[in-house]
Amino acid sequence: MTAVGEEMHTLVERLYPLCRSITGDGVRATLDIVREYIPLQVYEVPTGTQVLDWTVPQEWNIRDAYIADSTGHRVVDFAASSLHALGYSVPVSATMPLAELRAHLHTLPDHPSWVPYRTSYYQPEWGFCLAQETLDALPDGDYEVRIDSTLEDGHLTYAEHVVPGQVSDEVIVSCHVCHPSLANDNLAGIAVATFLARALAQETPYYTYRFIYAPGTIGAITWLARNAERINGVSPARAEPRAGGSVRHGLVLACAGDSGQLTYKQSRRGDAEIDRVLRHVLTASERPHRVAEFTPYGYDERQYCSPGFDLGVGSLSRTPYAGYPEYHTSADNPDFVSPEAMADTLAVCREAFAVLDRNRRYVNLSPYGEPQLGRRGLYDSLGGRSDAKQSQMAMLWVLSLSDGEHSLLDVAERSGLPFDTVALAAGALHGAGLIKA
């Protein structure tokens, strides 16, 4: 996991300089790099496409932006950081006094050396983000301001990667690809999702896993609109269904690389299987963690959990959005995220999906009295294992609760035994013909 953590951090560093937004070439360049790690199916949805209650906006691209003083020196330069340009700025080329320019400048007075991240997606504005100390050092006078950008009909871009499973029913893993130079939010999420996909591809998972790389809000809404008929039979107008199983579970990954404790935000349901699995895994691992109730604010879990879809999709992060001072600032840089934290987030995802994949309901085929385990060699199969007593109890619990109504996770929670122990016991009982799925 140490080596994998270093690889994820390298991916974050490669993606960090790119200027991403909800549309544009920065998203495409990001997906091109991710494509070096895993295959991607990229989709382009034209401007003006109706997606549920939204419309795909015009595509934004930016080549350069700067504020220059009277000597031509660039006091603010987009080439130094993609955060310097207000996201979705309309083009501008003008000379104006500092007093007039101030209305278009964004700073963080409480953190004078940091540059904020600001956007104006759906209002035609232009502006610059800079450190307060930079602004304080600017003398009065005229400044040349230039934003070389375009806002015109184009496409919204998103991508998918699918890991085939034994069944077509799906688990979706979603991360947003619309933030510029911000390492924790959400390059760490992109990195963890990518390496999770690589890990699952080395296995034969039960569920099919669909990884979604999409811009925040409008990207998830676009994906839902184009896949609605595969979700609980929902058929809003203009849905564009594709082949695949129904979505059974899901997880949004964000803020996955800082040093804070893990936080799981539950789905709107609160009792979805993914909620129970994450609560169990985090508790059993004894990692410091927090389980948060659902709120209709945050990342794209709120789109997947909207009442018309009501998917069982939670969100896994370390420190949640807006929960750390560096959030949406230049201080959220590659030094702010660590290989160790990303590796730990990845490990929790793998542990959770291992539980999800093995969580079955069984029926006891010898339900009248306790079956004789000894003559079937089940006790002997435990040998000198140090956890033989625990494994024996797990067999008894599985037999007791295998009524077609209780899952192995139910058994683990009620018995207080580790899920792995319960799953191994179920495997042994199934092999002996005492239970069936």
CB atoms within 10 A of CB 202: 7
CB atoms within 10 A of CB 265: 25
Which pLDDT score, from 0 to 100, does residue 412 have? Answer: 96
Helix (H) or strand (E) holding 176: strand 170-176
pLDDT of residue 5 exceeding 70, the answer is yes
The answer to whether the beta carbons of residues 218 and 51 sit under 8 Å apart is yes
Please check if 169 is assigned to a binding site.
no
Which pLDDT score, from 0 to 100, does residue 2 have? Answer: 87
Please check if 153 is assigned to a binding site.
no
Band (3; pLDDT cuts 50, 70, 90):
very high
Please check if 328 is assigned to a binding site.
yes
Which pLDDT score, from 0 to 100, does residue 231 have? Answer: 79
pLDDT, one tens digit per residue, over 358-385 is 999 999 999 999 999 988 888 765 555 5
55 φ/ψ angles, rounded to the nearest 5 degrees: -130, 135
Band (274; pLDDT cuts 50, 70, 90):
very high
Which pLDDT score, from 0 to 100, does residue 378 have? Answer: 87
Which pLDDT score, from 0 to 100, does residue 1 have? Answer: 79
Which pLDDT score, from 0 to 100, does residue 230 have? Answer: 75
- What's the mean pLDDT in 311-320? 97
Which pLDDT score, from 0 to 100, does residue 403 have? Answer: 96
CB atoms within 10 A of CB 35: 16
Between 15-29, 134-148, 227-241, the lowest mean confidence (pLDDT) is in: 227-241
- What's the mean pLDDT in 251-258? 98
- Which domains can be identified in the chain, with CATH numbers? 2-57+155-358 (3.40.630.10), 60-151 (3.50.30.90), 361-436 (1.10.10.10)
The answer to whether the beta carbons of residues 395 and 428 sit under 8 Å apart is yes
pLDDT of residue 88 exceeding 70, the answer is yes
Between 49-58, 212-221, 243-252, 382-391, the lowest mean confidence (pLDDT) is in: 382-391
Which pLDDT score, from 0 to 100, does residue 244 have? Answer: 57
Which pLDDT score, from 0 to 100, does residue 239 have? Answer: 46
Which pLDDT score, from 0 to 100, does residue 235 have? Answer: 54
DSSP assigned state of 116:
B
- What's the mean pLDDT in 312-319? 98
Per the model's pLDDT, the better-predicted residue between 390 and 399 turns out to be: 399
Which pLDDT score, from 0 to 100, does residue 375 have? Answer: 87
pLDDT, one tens digit per residue, over 152-183 is 999 999 999 999 999 999 999 999 999 999 99
Paired tokens of 288: 């410091």
Which pLDDT score, from 0 to 100, does residue 8 have? Answer: 98
Band (233; pLDDT cuts 50, 70, 90):
low
Which pLDDT score, from 0 to 100, does residue 158 have? Answer: 98
* Rounded Cα gap, residues 218 and 211, in angstroms: 17
pLDDT of residue 44 exceeding 80, the answer is yes
Strands laid side by side in the 313-317 sheet = 41-46, 155-163, 208-214, 170-176, 247-253, 313-317, 262-265, 289-292
* Rounded Cα gap, residues 89 and 19, in angstroms: 13
Rg (CA), the chain: 25
Q: Which residues contact 251 (CB under 8 A, 6 or more apart)?
A: 171, 172, 173, 174, 274, 313, 314, 315, 316, 349, 352
- What's the mean pLDDT in 3-16? 98
The answer to whether the beta carbons of residues 435 and 363 sit under 8 Å apart is yes
* Rounded Cα gap, residues 113 and 331, in angstroms: 9
